[in-house]
Amino acid sequence: MPTPTDMDNAGTGAAGAQATVAGDRLLLRGILVHDIRRDLRRHLRPMLAWYLLFTAFATVAAAPLTTWSLAALLHWIERPFMGDFDDLADNLLAIAWLMLAGALSWYVVMLQQAGMLLVSASHGCRYRTAAAALLGMLRRAGPLAVLAAWQVFAHALLAAPWLAIGVLLYRWLLGGYDPYYVLAARPAALWWFLAGFMPVLVGGLLLHATLYFRWLLATPALVLEGLSPVAALLRSRALTRGRHLRIATLVVGVALAVAAMPLLVTELYDRAATPMLDWLPDQRLPTSAGMVVYLTLYAATVLGVLLLGTTLNTLLVRALFLRLGGARGARAVPASPPRPGRFVWGAEAVFLVVALVQAAIAVTSMNLQREVTVTAHRGAAALAPENTLAAFAAAIDAGADAIEFDVRLSADGAVVVFHDSDFRRIAGDPRTVSQTPLAAMRDIDVGSWFAPAFSGERIATLGEALAFIDRRALALVELKPDAHNAQALLEATLREVRRGGHDDAVMLASLSPELVRAARAAAPEARLALFTNAALPGTSRRTDFDMLGLNHLQVDGGAVADARRRGYLLQAWTVNDPARMARYMDLGVDDISTDVPGEAVRLRAQRAALGDVELLLVRLHSWFRR
């Protein structure tokens, strides 16, 4: 039985725990209400000068060096890292590359935070403080690089077990299925996989979050206390011990608020200010000038919001560091010069000039080209069963400029029009294409799954498909090799194209840069396309393809600019939403791949009927909805 003394001790312990929790709540509330508000008043304008200086530094030095080093590494190891990953070597190299990319990106973020910490530790003026902070950041660049490497490496080690479990579960439960069948049909094995892997994933992410918040204060420990990278990690661990959940709640809450601010600004401008552009006169020059002024204000507002968000995050970390027992230290940078006002106005003038330049670039880069081409993805796959002659007929009737379809190699060497590696999704037949002869494929009904009206639709050969299309549209033929027959599929496809005399009406495509290179070597005159989910810099030599087909979620102004600079066509695939189609047309892509080609053709015709001024205004609306 517990004695009265034991009960008193227990009560004292409970009261102490409650007092600690209450103290932590007051501490965190004090950080939000008092510390950050005070520091914002004191440091916001010096932070603006620092933000501009660091942006210039990142643009001139950090970003180019990061991009060039990653691209050079990819070129040196000559691995594509795009599309499908078929072997262990590609997977391991891709993970190593992503780790390096993550470390470099995190390093740039840490450099920016280090400078802001130095600014926030000073009571000096705007410009002098920012310049001194830049020098202080550069002096700490080496230790910060080591700190970033330690953190990324630790997270990579932490990720290895749950990634390995996920790979093993996938191979055990889903390895025998075609990936597209898994996504489309969602068999029972998928749910077993998710049931087994989701707890592992959630547990892994919780461990990553714990490690992140344990080391949240390492950067201020290194910058403000002058500790070594390892000592800074240990210092952060000591300061945050027992408070991870409360710190996480505060940090995540502020982060969500910061992330929402640019979205709210864009929505406000689109709803409240954009309609005023309709008052502009119907002339190109005044409209363009008005748009430049309007976008300048918008860019200045967004840049200001981004600055505010970055500043809030840094001040939050600093306030946590100081409140939890970090060194308060002396001034980290020199005091103000005799005439600080000149530097303040200079920094703010630069801010407005940057906004003006961005606005002018946005207006001048708005593409007025109306002749984007339309590719029917697997035929008009929303109107008829994919990769069938019925789908090709629907695409031609819709006015598509090109018809994309997939080809594979049968067991007896015939090139057949089919997407998946087996017939399970389309016909409920588990046989694989590569192990089934053409004669046996002819008995497979590939239309009933779509609708009873297409019952009896059969698999076509490449020759039959090209003869049916008969130059009424470009045939965009995507090669879908199995692991053992890529070269054989390429050779058989080229023979079939040449036999029918369709060389000038065909473009060959693949997700594999190596297969595209092989096609270039085998047929230098052929038109070639490289399809990819994400085009990382340096992943393929420019001379290998004539068109880059990019997952539409990865298409932006930079991708369009790259295509123009390097001289290849850019396709966005697969886009079925009319609003997104309009956006990519406005960005200036050369081709849109879609399951509903009639919708894209209609949208293109509508834009062709607009005058230049009307088109500029329409594209401004699309620009805001990016």
- Distance separating alpha carbons of residues 624 and 269, to the nearest angstrom: 8
CA-CA distances (angstroms) from residue 483 to 12, 289, 493, 512?
Answer: 69, 56, 17, 12
Q: Is the Cβ–Cβ distance between 499 and 467 less than 8 Å?
A: no
Q: Is the Cβ–Cβ distance between 108 and 129 less than 8 Å?
A: no
Three-state SS for 549?
strand
Q: Is the Cβ–Cβ distance between 154 and 212 less than 8 Å?
A: no
Contacts of 604 (CB under 8 A, 6+ apart): 370, 371, 372, 374, 585
- Distance separating alpha carbons of residues 408 and 174, to the nearest angstrom: 22
- Number of residues in the chain: 626
Q: Is the Cβ–Cβ distance between 244 and 213 less than 8 Å?
A: yes
Distance of CA 257 to the CA centre of its chain: 21
H/E element, 304: helix 284-323
Contacts of 220 (CB under 8 A, 6+ apart): 117, 317, 318, 321, 326
The residue to which tokens 């929790």 are assigned: 21
Q: Is the Cβ–Cβ distance between 600 and 381 less than 8 Å?
A: no
Least Cα distance to 341 among 125, 54, 129 occurs for 125
**Cα distance between the two ends of the chain:** 69
- The backbone torsions φ and ψ at residue 299, rounded to the nearest 5 degrees and listed phi first, read -65, -40
Distance of CA 431 to the CA centre of its chain: 36
Distance of CA 458 to the CA centre of its chain: 39
- Distance separating alpha carbons of residues 312 and 36, to the nearest angstrom: 7
- Distance separating alpha carbons of residues 585 and 106, to the nearest angstrom: 34
Distance of CA 444 to the CA centre of its chain: 40
Query: Does 244 qualify as catalytic in the annotation?
Result: no
Catalytic residue selected from 75, 123, 155, 377: 377
Q: In 302-357, where do the E strands start and end?
A: none
Least Cα distance to 175 among 427, 597, 626, 483 occurs for 483
- Distance separating alpha carbons of residues 458 and 588, to the nearest angstrom: 38
Calculate the dihedral angle through the C-alpha atoms of 232, 238, 240, 244, rounding to the nearest 10 degrees: 110
Q: In 396-473, where do the E strands start and end?
A: 402-409, 415-417, 422-423, 429-432
Q: Is the Cβ–Cβ distance between 552 and 573 less than 8 Å?
A: yes
Query: Does 75 qualify as catalytic in the annotation?
Result: no
Beta bridge partners of 580: none
- Distance separating alpha carbons of residues 473 and 397, to the nearest angstrom: 11
Sign of the dihedral through C-alpha 543, 546, 550, 552 = positive
User: Which residues are the active-site residues?
Assistant: 377, 419
